[in-house]
Amino acid sequence: MPHALLLHGAHGCGKKEIAKWYTMLALCEDPAGAPCGVCRTCRLIGEGTHPDVMYAEHSGKRGGFSVETVREIRMQADILPNNGALRIFLFTDADEMSVQAQNALLKSVEEPPAHTAFVFTAETAGALLPTLLSRMTVKAVFPVTEAECVQSLTARGYSSEDAEAAVRRFGGNIGKCISYLTDETVRQSAETAAALTGALAAGDEYSLLRLLSAAASDRDTFRRTLELLDAQIRDAAAATLHEELPPLGCDARTASALAQRLTPNQTVRLHEAIRTAYADLDSNVGAVLTASALCAALMNGAAG
């Protein structure tokens, strides 16, 4: 087994679940049936209480890892395991890990003690430095098929109708589908982002402004809506370039319709307009004013 592993893929596609499975695989008390999921070790890992499995603590506004946290883990890595042959350190959602923190960890990943392993998860492999990546095994994680996603959701107790509605929005991304079914903000934002994409594709400025203004009534919902709209524009951009990339948005039909109207350069302008809206919100510009300005910028970006 590799001493350092990176699992990368879209948010919600199961990277952390696979990391937990991998940890069980490495430490399970039943090597022939690993991971068995029922031995004491597997149960403790599943509960997050195994003494030899440590999750690095996130810190700061961006949710990265401090240099102090990395230094503490380097010290912990020298300690022999309490049980079994390995101590495993997990850095989940490592996309915002600073260069300083990565450099502080480099020596431990390059020449770890024989009893130590590291597991990282991130949305993109490029979030980590090439010097760090070169010292680990890198594996991409993809969404499952839509049929498999429906099966997984119904096995969790959701109705077939709800499962199919979620899959229409997020395809085989099980994590995003569960969020859609359990979080009203996600559901509302996804429906609004799909409608906004359709309004952009139709050049319907009135509907665009109405939808943006309604979303702006709640800042958190507005941010989530902009995030999904940006993902829709990314999917449209991929279509304009004839790139076969896994979708990140919430409505393939309207993203495809938008792609029919736009050039690659226009999709870049739409993305930049949304980045500007984010910056305005971060600068405490009023959400409704931001929505109005974004509407104009999106219409201009799609027109010229």
User: Are residues 97 and 121 part of one domain?
Assistant: yes
Residues spanned by the domain of 20: 4-140
User: Are residues 254 and 243 part of one domain?
Assistant: yes
Per-residue pLDDT tens for 203-236? 999 999 999 999 999 999 999 999 999 999 999 9
Identify the band that residue 304 occupies on the pLDDT scale cut at 50, 70 and 90: low
Instruction: Output the CA torsion sign for 67, 72, 76, 78.
Output: positive
User: Are residues 68 and 159 part of one domain?
Assistant: no
- Nearest partner of 94 among 102, 85, 86, 106, judged by Cα: 102
Q: CB count, 10 Å around CB of 62?
A: 10
Q: Which of 140, 170, 201 is the last residue of a domain?
A: 140
**Number of helical (H) and strand (E) elements in the chain, helices listed first:** 14, 5
Per-position DSSP letters for 77-134, written without gaps between them: HTSPPSSSS-EEEEE-SGGG--HHHHHHHHHHHHS--TTEEEEEEES-GGGS-HHHHT
The CATH number of whichever domain residue 205 belongs to comes to: 1.20.272.10
pLDDT of residue 61 exceeding 90: no
Please tell me the total count of domains within the chain. Answer: 3
Name the one residue in this structure whose structure tokens are 């070790």: 41
User: Are residues 297 and 202 part of one domain?
Assistant: yes
User: Are residues 193 and 214 part of one domain?
Assistant: yes
Name the one residue in this structure whose structure tokens are 């990368």: 8
pLDDT of residue 244 exceeding 80: no
User: Are residues 129 and 14 part of one domain?
Assistant: yes
> What percent of the chain has a predicted confidence (pLDDT) above 90?
91
Query: The whole model's pTM is what?
Result: 0.84
> Which residues, 6+ apart, have CB-to-CB distance to 87 below 8 Å?
52, 53, 54, 76, 77, 79, 80, 81, 115, 116, 117
User: Are residues 149 and 125 part of one domain?
Assistant: no
Q: The tokens of 153 are what?
A: 């959701």
User: Are residues 96 and 44 part of one domain?
Assistant: yes
Q: The tokens of 133 are what?
A: 């990546």
User: Are residues 154 and 194 part of one domain?
Assistant: no
User: Are residues 199 and 299 part of one domain?
Assistant: yes
User: Are residues 260 and 151 part of one domain?
Assistant: no
pLDDT of residue 60 exceeding 90: no
User: Are residues 197 and 121 part of one domain?
Assistant: no
Q: The tokens of 51 are what?
A: 């003494």
225 touches 193 (CB < 8 A): yes
> Kind and range of the H or E element at 166?
helix 160-170
Name the one residue in this structure whose structure tokens are 């524009």: 233
pLDDT of residue 171 exceeding 70: yes
> Kind and range of the H or E element at 54?
strand 53-55
Name which of 8-17, 22-31, 55-64, 171-180 the model is least confident about.
55-64
> Which residues, 6+ apart, have CB-to-CB distance to 219 below 8 Å?
281, 287
The CATH number of whichever domain residue 130 belongs to comes to: 3.40.50.300
